[in-house]
Amino acid sequence: MTIQWFPGHMAKARREVTEQLKMVDVVFELVDARIPLSSRNPMIDDIIKQKPRVIILNKKDMSKQSETDKWMQYFKNQGFFPVQIDSKHGKHLGELMKAAQAATKEKFDREKSKGLRPRAIRAMIVGIPNVGKSTLINKLAKKSIAKTGNTPGVTKKQQWIKVGKELELLDTPGILWPKFEDQAIGKKLSLTGAIKDSIVHLDEVAIYGLNFLIDHDPEKLQKFYQIELAGDDEVVDLFDQIGKRRGMLKRGNEIDYESVTELIIRDLRNAKIGNYCFDIYDEMKDGLYETKEH
């Protein structure tokens, strides 16, 4: 799904989430495990405030495990309850339930000590577009409820989905806007399919992707496209090599750069070349702890 965000949309999205927050015990903040930081809404801590939060690193099947583990630890250190799951194939949903229980334990213990009857945990999902909110809702509901491709600002009657005896989930996810301000984040969002192709320059995204592979997995890059890295290659030389290998040529035997660009982006988005996490913890960690506490 792609959305053009205007300030009005953002204000409305925020208002809606703030309203829904009152109804839940815990928030499931969904992020893309391939970009656990870059796929977060920039104001998420301001919006969610002190409400217990499970951070769900979704699409774990497409990310690099060792990086995902580092981000899990990071979120844990921040006082959140992180889990890594694969919504598409319904994997690790049990861990999500356990995290929801851990996140709400204090509140439920308090209720119990006041003599209140045990009840299901109430939760809602929030996140930027395309992180897998609808997919997760449908998996938890075991049927198709949330339409993939819903738009912010389109209000509909909310309902609770019963997930076993212990969880009730709002059937409408809170859709929040992504980070826009940073060029690198924009490219990562594009590489994972979170933002509209026309917002970013695709050639820059493909170059970013190729440079990432040169730095982090040059062997796979060479093997996958059957190309040779000479060490002093300009990244554009690689476009030529890939274009020739794949026969992506225009009339006059010129390389069809548009097709090569699309190919590289598609292969990265679909994790065809390998499983990558584009937010690299060790490269980002210095800036992390300067941000304010939630």
In the region spanning residues 145 to 164, those forming contacts with ligand GDP, defined by CB under 6 A, are 148
| Residue in the structure block whose two tokens are 């040169």 | 214
Task: Count residues binding ligand GDP (CB under 6 A).
Answer: 17
CB-wise, 195 or 248, nearer to ligand GDP?
Answer: 195
Question: Contact region for ligand GDP (CB under 6 A) — 72-80, 125-133, 234-242, 284-292?
Answer: 125-133
Question: Contact region for ligand GDP (CB under 6 A) — 5-13, 83-91, 176-184, 195-203?
Answer: 83-91
Residue 282 annotated as lining a ligand binding site? no
Pair 197, 190: CB distance under 8 Å? yes
Pair 183, 169: CB distance under 8 Å? no
* Nearest to 278, CA basis, from 185, 167, 171, 141: 185
Residue 134 annotated as lining a ligand binding site? yes
* Residue number, nearest CB to ligand GDP: 132
Among 9, 12, 51, 88, binds ligand GDP (CB under 6 A): 88
CB-wise, 192 or 261, nearer to ligand GDP?
Answer: 192
Q: Does 268 bind ligand GDP (CB under 6 A)?
A: no
Q: Does 129 bind ligand GDP (CB under 6 A)?
A: yes
Residue 61 annotated as lining a ligand binding site? yes
CB-wise, 123 or 260, nearer to ligand GDP?
Answer: 123
CB-wise, 62 or 103, nearer to ligand GDP?
Answer: 62
Q: In angstroms, give the least distance from the CB of 60 to ligand GDP.
A: 7
Q: Does 86 bind ligand GDP (CB under 6 A)?
A: yes
CB-wise, 94 or 218, nearer to ligand GDP?
Answer: 94
User: b vs e for 143-182, b when ≥16 Cβ sit within 10 Å of the residue's Cβ?
Assistant: eeebeeebebeeeeeeebbebeeebbbbbbbbbbbbbeee
Q: Does 131 bind ligand GDP (CB under 6 A)?
A: yes
State the Cα–Cα distance between residues 149 and 129, nearest whole angstrom.
9
In the region spanning residues 28 to 67, those forming contacts with ligand GDP, defined by CB under 6 A, are 58-59, 61-62
| Residue in the structure block whose two tokens are 């980002």 | 284
Q: In angstroms, give the least distance from the CB of 62 to ligand GDP.
A: 5
Q: Does 174 bind ligand GDP (CB under 6 A)?
A: no
Q: Does 265 bind ligand GDP (CB under 6 A)?
A: no
Question: Contact region for ligand GDP (CB under 6 A) — 114-122, 132-140, 197-205, 261-269?
Answer: 132-140
Q: Does 263 bind ligand GDP (CB under 6 A)?
A: no
What residues are designated binding site?
A: 58-61, 130-135, 174
Q: Give contact residues for ligand GDP (rule: CB under 6 A).
A: 1, 58-59, 61-62, 86-88, 127, 129-135, 148
What residues are designated binding site for GTP?
A: 58-61, 130-135, 174
